[in-house]
Structure 1
């Protein structure tokens, strides 16, 4: 049963849709990863992100480390098409957590025009990520996914 599951998990059709969705999500996540890890694009860097997640978001250290790891590794896996369904599932769970822990109290809309003084963001972006993850989990990584070589 494990072998059949892994064959399915690493399977992928040869579609452009899977390729486009995984690259889109991976490329959108990459700047956020760079902000969190390296402080690029005016980001907090790893120390600042850990401080935010453990104080403001109230996560225990182990969960903050897990969340950062899932996002960082997941973005890389999506870009390469390696373990694509696993990466999408991890990112899906991560974004459900983001909605529940941080963004749900702020409502649906992002703070596009800076009208919310606190800078609080809603969860509309997160719903888009969830939709992309669902399609990737169903369809696989598409064209040029390394998953195909791992079967």
Structure 2
């Protein structure tokens, strides 16, 4: 029997804990579980936050969190799972950034922490106690790491960039309306 490796055990605990938190948040968005609003309420909230179209944004965020979190917890397709979850958290960070860093003031501390943790696990790999190890790392190859993180970064940049442009246009339109009465 192979002795227990502390590094692999630590990765297991980190993966399962982080993955469970992400999966719970994603299932709130997708299914309304754990006190969440479900897809329709999440879609409305996404629209209000400037993510359009709201329903597609809600599905993407929910899948990034629930799917990425579940795969992280299982240690399966770990690079793609970590990248997907980190990308979803980049969107959440953009929403919370105007409130500063700390979570108690509505800041981005918590989604940033989840995103960095998911990304770190995706880069480090699942360890011996994950399904990637059991499948001989078929879904955890160096090219998958690169493709997953580049793809996730590009997608997150596009989504957040589009949101910023739409918010700027809406602010400009509101300012123009306010000046129309002068």
Return the TM-score normalized by structure 2. Answer: 0.63
1:51-62 matches, cutoff 5 A: 51-53=44-46, 55-61=47-53, 62=56
Aligned to 2:12: 19
Aligned to 2:119: 134
Q: Distance in 2 between matches of 1:133 and 1:75?
A: 8
1:38 is the counterpart of 2:31: yes
Q: Distance in 2 between matches of 1:65 and 1:33?
A: 9
CA radius of gyration, larger in: 2
3-state SS, counterpart of residue 141 of structure 1: coil
**When the two structures are aligned, how many residues end up with a matched partner?**
128
Aligned to 1:84: 78
Aligned to 1:4: none
User: By how many angstroms is 1:106 displaced?
Assistant: 1.1
The Cα RMSD (Å) is 1.9
Unaligned runs of 5+ in 1: 1-13
User: By how many angstroms is 1:125 displaced?
Assistant: 0.8
Q: Mark the CA change 1:130 to 1:71 in structure 2 (over 3 Å): closer, same or farther.
A: closer
Return the TM-score normalized by structure 1. Answer: 0.75
Q: Distance in 2 between matches of 1:71 and 1:38?
A: 12
Structure ranking higher on relative contact order (CA contacts 8 Å, 6+ apart): 1
Contact 2:39 2:59 in 1 (8 A): no
Q: Distance in 2 between matches of 1:138 and 1:78?
A: 12
User: By how many angstroms is 1:40 displaced?
Assistant: 2.5
3-state SS, counterpart of residue 59 of structure 1: coil
Q: Distance in 1 between matches of 2:112 and 2:83?
A: 14
Which structure has the highest helix share of the two? 2
3-state SS, counterpart of residue 35 of structure 2: coil
Q: Distance in 1 between matches of 2:92 and 2:34?
A: 21
User: By how many angstroms is 1:38 displaced?
Assistant: 2.5
Aligned to 2:99: 106
